[in-house]
Amino acid sequence: MSKPSKTIPVLTIIAIIIAIWYICVVWMNAPFVYDQAERAKVEPPAFSELVSITMSQERPVLPAPHQVAQELWKTTGAMALKGRPFSKRSLIYHTWITLSATLLGFLIGTALGIALAVGIVHNRAMDKSVMPWVITSQTIPILAIAPMIIVVLNAAGISGLLPKALISTYLSFFPVVVGMVKGLRSPDAAQLDLMHTYNASTAQTFWKLRWPSSMPYLFTSLKIAVAISLVGAIVGEMPTGAVAGLGARLLAGSYYGQTIQIWSALFMAATLAAVLVMLVGWAHSYVLRRMGEKPEGVAA
């Protein structure tokens, strides 16, 4: 049996969202048009004219989808065509800045998370002592701790990519620890007993049983971790003085009321998150297929 196509429902939902968005554009930008007309002491424009004005303002309260799309194209594709894809005015440049911090933070966070989980599963003292700290770390708002990390590391002479990456790490190690502790403990009692009857060492039990058992848990955690790594990198760019990166674009946009710029940076961030999660998802299904996972919909 083939799966029913998902394309039509997905496109329908997108069309509905865009329609609602356009309605909101008129509704939210209209007061400004009326205010201007009142100040200029002229008749407010007729509805059809009003609609076209609300969709072409320079600093709208809510930019129209096509304005955001134009801005996105202007700062990415168009710049690439002109041969300057990595110019400082290009969104590709800013996206790359954020992406590099995201990926570095994600890698460190994953390594740290796995290391902590291995310790927690194998060491009783760590099991009792580390987990509460791990959970406490996540109750501190990242917005509060991000500037401190940047400032402290700057004072220690570390600046640039690493401080931002560490903020990503701070967020992304958490789902990895939680998922991997559960994953490394997922083998059932009989499987662990079997290893015991073979007189397997802790390392053998780890590599032959615990590690492969934890793979589904690892990838589920990685999907969350990569998305919040991106959030961490963006948050980390805000207190750095807004030089470069998607966070900087968001901040600069809000300083100067450039709503179109804010929205296009937001869309870029969302697209980037979607792509990253999708890549992890592909890696997930690739690894599980290599591990001989039962294909969906097949009866044993």
Please report, as ranges, the residues that interact with another protein according to CB under 8 A. 188, 190-191, 193-200, 204, 208-209, 212, 215, 291-294, 300
Residue 294 is classified by DSSP as P
Q: What is the CA radius of gyration of the chain?
A: 25
Closest CA relative to residue 275, chosen from 12, 136, 70, 98: 98
| Nearest Cα to Cα of residue 191 among 211, 215, 217, 170 | 211
Are the beta carbons of 265 and 94 closer than 8 angstroms?
yes
The whole-angstrom separation of Cα 21 and Cα 24 is: 5
Close Cβ partners of 79 (under 8 Å, ≥ 6 residues apart): 85, 87, 89, 90, 92
By C-alpha distance, which of 257, 251, 224 is closest to 235? 251
Closest approach of another protein to the CB of residue 189, in Å: 9
170: its two tokens = 């701070």
99, 78, 100: which is closest to 89 by C-alpha? Answer: 78
Instruction: Please report how close the Cβ of residue 285 comes to another protein at its closest, in angstroms.
Output: 14
Contact 192, 135 (CB under 8 A): no
Task: Tell me which residue of 88, 65, 79 sits closest to 267, measured CA to CA.
Answer: 65
Quick check: 102 and 229 in contact, CB under 8 A? Answer: yes
Q: Which residues of 94-128 are buried (b: 16+ CB within 10 A; e: fewer)?
A: bbbbbbebbbbbbebbbebbbebbbebbeeeeeee
Give whichever of 167 and 209 is closer to another protein, judged by the CB atom: 209
Least Å distance, CB 210 to another protein, is 11
Cα dist from 85 to 73, 79, 94, whole Å: 12, 5, 10
